[in-house]
Amino acid sequence: MRLSILFAWRYLFGKKSTNAINIITGISIVGIGVGTAALILVLSVFNGFEDLLAGLMNSVNADIKVMPVQGKRFEIDSATLKKINAL
């Protein structure tokens, strides 16, 4: 790893190298850095939206749904209501 860093340092900051190559390399490095930062930012925002939407969906959907076995409605007495509230 140290050898590759040494070669890169000599290539970028050598005295005999052409200045245009150093400028193009610098622009490329900055472009890759900006692209990586933008990707990390977008993924972080999407992850936050996912958590927010999951929280909203869980607040709308009930954990338990009480439905009648037959028909569309049912009569409930106080004993059954107490059992449901105990859950």
Give the pLDDT confidence score for residue 17 in this predicted structure. 59
In this prediction, residues 48-73 reach a mean pLDDT of 80
Distances from the Cα of 5 to the Cα of 11, 24, 73, angstroms? 10, 19, 75
Question: If you average pLDDT over every residue of the chain, what do you get?
Answer: 84
* pLDDT tens for each residue of 12-45: 776 665 677 778 888 999 999 999 999 999 999 9
Encoded tokens for 64: 């338990």
Give the pLDDT confidence score for residue 77 in this predicted structure. 86
In this prediction, residues 62-69 reach a mean pLDDT of 77
Q: Answer whether residue 71 shows pLDDT above 90.
A: no
Of the candidates 11, 36, 42, the residue with the CA atom closest to the CA atom of residue 24: 11
| Structural domains of the chain, count | 1
Encoded tokens for 40: 């990390």
* Residues spanned by the domain of 60: 2-86
- Name residues whose C-beta falls within 8 Å of residue 43's C-beta, 6 or more positions apart in sequence: none
Q: Which amino acid, 28?
A: S
